[in-house]
Structure 1
Amino acid sequence: MKAIINGTIITVANETIEQGTILIDGDKIVQISKGALELSADVEVFDATGKVVTPGLIEVHGHIGICEEGMGWEGDDTNEMTDPSTPYVRALDAINPFDRAFVDARKGGVTTVHTMPGSANVIGGETIVIKTAGTIVEDMVLKAVAGIKVAFGENPKRIYGDRKQLPSTRMGTAAVLRRELTKAQGYLEKCQIGKQDPEKMPDKDLGMEVLVKVLKKEIPLRAHAHRADDIVTAIRIADEFNVDITIEHCTEGHKIVEFLKQKQVNIAVGPTLSSRSKIELQDLGFETVKILMEAGIEVSILTDHPVIPVQYIPICAALAAKEGITEEEALKAITIYPAKHLGIADRVGSIEVGKDADIVIWSGYPLDYRSKVERTIINGHVVYGN
């Protein structure tokens, strides 16, 4: 067993505890107390006197392990740019656990990441949620299939438009997604008939099998959308097919606040600590987080690693706080809100009994850029620090 004692514990979910104790058994948090606990001699103790203790940080959207740090073409497996619809590809198969960025993530207090294919294709493939420590991907998995990446806006039409291929317009992008979801509906109907009459069972189609999970609401669409009209199009199509969707990036979300509030979709904003590198980013700014949160929307902040290196996610949250949200909300935007966004809040995102022992000990408040991570603990094991 392990115990973290005497620290200021920011639980995120509940009150902040001064000079508290966290007891860890195996990979789980088993007790949180105000003040000291009587500990047996075999408990490994970490004294956090004068330190701040938080849950591990969560990157809600990025490409860590898939677009490898400093590897160039050889380590970039982000986009399978051979077909605008590739639902059958899996992020799982592209992740290199030895990507240097995982070391940086642990040093930065990031313990969980949602990593995925890029946005070159309308349908990019399966996304995955993993912990940031391990040597075998399967051992790092928290959620094996977290959604299907889909993309709207400039990226798909630029890639395929240059080839004089569908989609070369926003209309074409929407049409490709509708076409594939319609195919999946037909495939599902045939499979249902095939259950009654095996001779009519269609040949297995890996892409359709994945999209059927979307139709059954087993997994959501994870939609890359910056511009307000692209966001609305993404939600329009999700409504047409009665499927779940999350909006990732949401750069112009502040322009359609009431619409987003009415639709009650999960929203992640970013990468905002970056340049306006294309037209759909012209209204980039941290005020988007503030405006959406003031409307009562629980916003997650993303880095889109490697666009912004994942270890700088606390700085992104701090800049959102500088724009006007509370520090408490800013911290939630990189812990419990991403956990809810990804459907993993029963495991991570806050310090609570029964949750994974993913804990970070800081030299000071985590949103102060001068604060250093002193220890990072994942699944009860110290993965960074003395």
Structure 2
Amino acid sequence: MLLIKNGTIYTMAGEIIENGSILIENGKIKEIGKDIVAPLDVEVIDAEGKMVTPGFIDAHCHIGLFEDGIGFEGDDGNEMVDPVTPHLRGIDGINPMDRTFEEAYQGGVTCAATGPGSANVIGGQFAAIKTYGRRIDDMIVKEPLAMKIAFGENPKRVYNAQKKSPMTRMATAAILRETLFKAKNYVEKQEKAKEDPSKAPEFDMKMEAMAKVIRKEIPLKAHAHRADDILTAIRIAKEFDVDITLEHCTEGHLIADYLAEEQKPTIVGPSLSERSKFELKNLTFETPGVLNKAGVKVAIMTDSPVIPLQYLPLCAGLAVKSGMDEMEALKAITINAAEILGIDDRVGSIEVGKDADIVIFDGNPLKDINCKTVATIIDGKVVYKR
């Protein structure tokens, strides 16, 4: 058992507990309050004068798939020979021993949504994982988490270089639609086969993966920076009645009214980067605050390796500097991220029964540049202590 005592606890479940305590048992949060009576032999961390938060969640990155300082040998995020690769699973390319994992949890990031990049129209399957461990199978929170798709410049650039489709935004949308039509037909045949096995479709690994999208078991995770690409993503999701989250959403502030009307969750970033391509010309840290004030649910991402995961709270802080409410920014890297990813039953807030993923800081990581992590707990285990 582990007891954290005397801290200022930001539960992210509607309250801040001054001089509060958290009792942890078997990797879960057992009790939260002010006057917890714990066994005499319990391990104790005194968090007096410290800020205690849920472990931070990066809702979109590629940790473990683009390894640190390696180059091609560690580059496993994009299979750039076929624009439709839904059968790829991010967990098969993640190296959990890459040093970026240690840097992540030392910075307070305890969970991350990671998976294929955006070279392909359909890139493959994301997973939500803890940032501590040596075997990816033991780190999974949810897998598959979502199906990565991409609009805009990336697939255009990759396949234009190969002189093959898609070379235009029209082709990107058409290829996605064609695949969704095939997947819908595949699922319909599977349903008919329940009554008549002779109607079962011939096995297709790509369609098996896409069937999860059609059945709404997982959402599309749509890479879209430009306003028109964001709206195309929404249009196609509505056509096929599938769930979708909007990733990057760089020009989301330009269409905040439309996004509020559609009520599709957004995962904004990476904003702490250069405007490396034309579709980033309106990049600003104001985006998450504008969307939040419009009534859109917002999470903030690093898109690691674009921004290392340990700077996720810095990104949230810069959003605050650009007009976002501080508590809303903290939600964007905790409970909002968990809810958007569909893993809020386990992580994202400090509540009884949830995973004991907790971070203790000697200041406010969104406001204090000198703030340091005092301790990181993942699944009830102290994985880092300064």
TMscore range, shorter length: over 0.9
Matches within 5 A, 1:257-276: 257-276=256-275
Unaligned runs of 5+ in 1: none
| Residue of structure 2 equivalent to 1:24 | 24
Instruction: Tell me how far 1:12 sits from its aligned partner.
Output: 1.5
Matches within 5 A, 1:84-103: 84-103=83-102
Instruction: Give the partner amino acid of 2:321.
Output: K
Instruction: Give the partner amino acid of 1:384.
Output: Y
| Residue of structure 1 equivalent to 2:219 | 220
Counterparts of 1:31 and 1:185 in 2: how far apart (Å)?
46
User: Is contact 2:118–2:149 with CA below 8 Å preserved after alignment?
Assistant: yes
User: Is contact 2:58–2:312 with CA below 8 Å preserved after alignment?
Assistant: yes
Q: Partner of 1:196: helix, strand, or coil?
A: coil
2:194 maps to 1:199: no
| Residue of structure 2 equivalent to 1:60 | 59
Q: Partner of 2:275: helix, strand, or coil?
A: coil
Counterparts of 1:49 and 1:382 in 2: how far apart (Å)?
18
| Residue of structure 2 equivalent to 1:371 | 371
Instruction: Tell me how far 1:54 sits from its aligned partner.
Output: 0.6
| Residue of structure 1 equivalent to 2:336 | 337
2:13 maps to 1:13: yes
| Residue of structure 1 equivalent to 2:133 | 134
Deviations 1:20-73 (A, max 9, x none): 110001111111112x32222121111111111110000000000111111111
Matches within 5 A, 1:1-386: 1-34=1-34, 36-367=35-366, 368-385=368-385
Instruction: Tell me how far 1:203 sits from its aligned partner.
Output: 2.1
Counterparts of 1:267 and 1:366 in 2: how far apart (Å)?
23
Instruction: Give the partner amino acid of 2:379.
Output: N
Q: Partner of 2:194: helix, strand, or coil?
A: helix
Instruction: Tell me how far 1:199 sits from its aligned partner.
Output: 3.0
Query: Over aligned residues, Cα RMSD in angstroms?
Result: 1.0
Instruction: Give the partner amino acid of 1:125.
Output: G
Answer with 321-330 or 308-317: which moved more: 321-330
User: Is contact 2:316–2:329 with CA below 8 Å preserved after alignment?
Assistant: yes
Answer with 146-155 or 284-293: which moved more: 284-293
Instruction: Give the partner amino acid of 1:212.
Output: A
Deviations 1:347-366 (A, max 9, x none): 11111111110000111112
Counterparts of 1:277 and 1:250 in 2: how far apart (Å)?
16
Q: Partner of 1:164: helix, strand, or coil?
A: coil
Answer with 54-63 or 43-52: which moved more: 43-52
Instruction: Give the partner amino acid of 1:224.
Output: H
Instruction: Tell me how far 1:190 sits from its aligned partner.
Output: 2.1
Instruction: Give the partner amino acid of 2:247.
Output: E
Instruction: Tell me how far 1:195 sits from its aligned partner.
Output: 2.7
Instruction: Tell me how far 1:289 sits from its aligned partner.
Output: 1.2
Instruction: Tell me how far 1:369 sits from its aligned partner.
Output: 1.9
Q: TM-score, normalised by structure 2?
A: 0.98
Q: TM-score, normalised by structure 1?
A: 0.98
Counterparts of 2:328 and 2:10 in 1: how far apart (Å)?
12
Counterparts of 1:179 and 1:38 in 2: how far apart (Å)?
60
Counterparts of 1:361 and 1:186 in 2: how far apart (Å)?
50
Q: Partner of 1:21: helix, strand, or coil?
A: strand
Deviations 1:330-382 (A, max 9, x none): 11111111001100111111111111100001111121221100110000001
Count of residues in Structure 1 that have an aligned counterpart in Structure 2: 385
Instruction: Give the partner amino acid of 1:4.
Output: I
Answer with 192-201 or 16-25: which moved more: 192-201
Counterparts of 2:355 and 2:250 in 1: how far apart (Å)?
32
Counterparts of 1:122 and 1:252 in 2: how far apart (Å)?
20
Identity %: 59
Counterparts of 1:129 and 1:63 in 2: how far apart (Å)?
11
Counterparts of 2:314 and 2:189 in 1: how far apart (Å)?
50
Instruction: Tell me how far 1:255 sits from its aligned partner.
Output: 1.1
Q: Partner of 1:150: helix, strand, or coil?
A: strand
